[in-house]
Structure 1
Amino acid sequence: MTDNGTTPLRVAVVEDQPLFRSMLEHTLSRTAGLQVVAAVGTAAEAARRLRPGTVDCVIMDIDLPDGNGIALGVTLRRKMPELGILLLSAHDAMDLLLDLPADVAAGWGYLSKTSSTSEEVLVNAVRAAAVGKTVLDPQLLARVTPRAGSDVARLTDRQYEVLRLLASGLSNAGIGERLGITEKSVQNHVNAMYATLGIDADPQRNPRVTAALRLLEETGPVG
């Protein structure tokens, strides 16, 4: 399900730290178009309460007291193929998204708890994950650079900038607004970026997801 302005996007929070869980629940509950349907602290409780037809996106900590958030996410996704999953961690663990099984690789996001993530970034990431996009932490993306010899390193500065914003979950309209260019110009940059990265229009694969994962795969920390 997507948030179409009339049907609330149903969100669950799986976070073992009570204060942080409460903060997430409060922030999301007062956001128009979102409805928090569960806020739990363990993998076992999440597995018990989150059933098909009850939730559209889950925000979960990677490190849970009784299990791993990624393993829980894989289990939930196989029961609910359209479920969006937004991972949270106190560490930079974005690379873990590269190890996801192929059948559940789309619709995952990653935000760091320590990168001063804003409410806007959080809500945008929830909405993007819920519609099958791969969303990466924009603060962490700002600290990486393309690896020498990679296809990402062949992108122009503007194409690379567009790719980072795309991987942050922004739409073409959002990217255009951020860069001060038209949506058509953004699409032209996206098309050129896809060509350089060899991303085709396979209807079985979301090219924006593929592009985000390529960015993750072919970059590393600055310095």
Structure 2
Amino acid sequence: MHPLRVAVVEDQPLYRQMLGLLLSSTTGIRLVAACAGAQDAARSLRASEVDVALLDLHLPDGDGLGVGRALRRENPGIGIVILSASDSMHALLELDADEAAGWSYLSKSSALTAHALVRAIQHTAAGRTVLDPAVTRGRAPRPHGPLDALSARQFEVLGLAAEGLTNHAIAERLGLSRRSVDAHVNAIYHALGIQSSTAHNPRVTAVRSYLAHTARRAHA
């Protein structure tokens, strides 16, 4: 397989350099560009030559959502990973449902590991939505919201799906059979009124519901 071509748009020089060094030394990934801002990205990036873009949410001359949308207009298949120093996962809700697949979020202030970053890049390239595990694990359903219809186990499964885990990986994490996890996922879709659609990936739709209807726990 060809290595994933990754671009970085980050205005902080040290963080940009650290990301570049990490990605350049990772097997299966090729760093194709490291840009300092939105204008630099507009001048330097060719979306057709990028598989995944790591974009800082807050740039001095724009924002990651805008840069990501511009790249998507040129290359609809490009994966976008938004990076932010604050808990700003809700920013992904600004995306329309039909453009949400393949957009992910990682927090720069969490204990982000190289493994988690690479896994997010790989899953995002495949069209999944990955949310930072350090942030999702501190969330709970909003009272009287649609996620209240889920059992505790179903909410746990949904949270792991939001981290980008496949059903097989969720089964291994929870010590369940793959069939049990499949049943939980189907029950989640039914409870949230999510139907199969050629336009909207049901898993991405479920993750969007997780984003919209959870909040940080008081003690988290």
For normalisation by structure 2, the TM-score amounts to 0.94
Residues 137-187 of structure 1: per-residue CA shift (max 9 Å, x gap)? 111111111011222121111111110110111111221221122222221
1:178 paired residue among 166, 173, 177? 173
Match of 2:111 in 1: 116
Q: Give the counterpart letter for 1:156 in structure 2.
A: S
Secondary structure, counterpart of 1:85 in structure 2? strand
Secondary structure, counterpart of 2:49 in structure 1? coil
Residues 90-140 of structure 1: per-residue CA shift (max 9 Å, x gap)? 111111111113442221111111111111211111112112212111111
Match of 1:3 in 2: none
Distance in 2, matches of 1:61 and 1:118, equals 17
Distance in 1, matches of 2:115 and 2:47, equals 28
Residues 63-102 of structure 1: per-residue CA shift (max 9 Å, x gap)? 1122111111111111111111000011111111111134
**Contact 1:78–1:104 (8 Å) recurs in 2:** no
For 1:44-59, list aligned pairs within 5 A: 44-59=39-54
Distance in 1, matches of 2:47 and 2:113, equals 30
For 1:11-160, list aligned pairs within 5 A: 11-160=6-155
Distance in 1, matches of 2:79 and 2:124, equals 5
State how many pairs are aligned.
Answer: 218
Distance in 1, matches of 2:197 and 2:98, equals 15
For normalisation by structure 1, the TM-score amounts to 0.93
Distance in 1, matches of 2:147 and 2:190, equals 11
Q: Give the counterpart letter for 1:165 in structure 2.
A: L
In structure 2, runs of 5+ residues without a counterpart are none
Q: CA deviation at 1:52?
A: 3.5
Distance in 1, matches of 2:204 and 2:105, equals 13
Percent identity over paired residues? 50
User: Is residue 2:3 matched to residue 1:8?
Assistant: yes
In structure 1, runs of 5+ residues without a counterpart are 1-5
Secondary structure, counterpart of 1:148 in structure 2? coil
Distance in 2, matches of 1:102 and 1:153, equals 22
Q: What value does the CA root-mean-square deviation take over the aligned residues? A: 1.3
Distance of aligned partners of 1:193 and 1:102 in 2 relative to their CA distance in 1, 3 Å threshold: closer
Distance in 2, matches of 1:29 and 1:186, equals 36
Q: Give the counterpart letter for 2:187 in structure 1.
A: A
Q: Give the counterpart letter for 1:107 in structure 2.
A: G
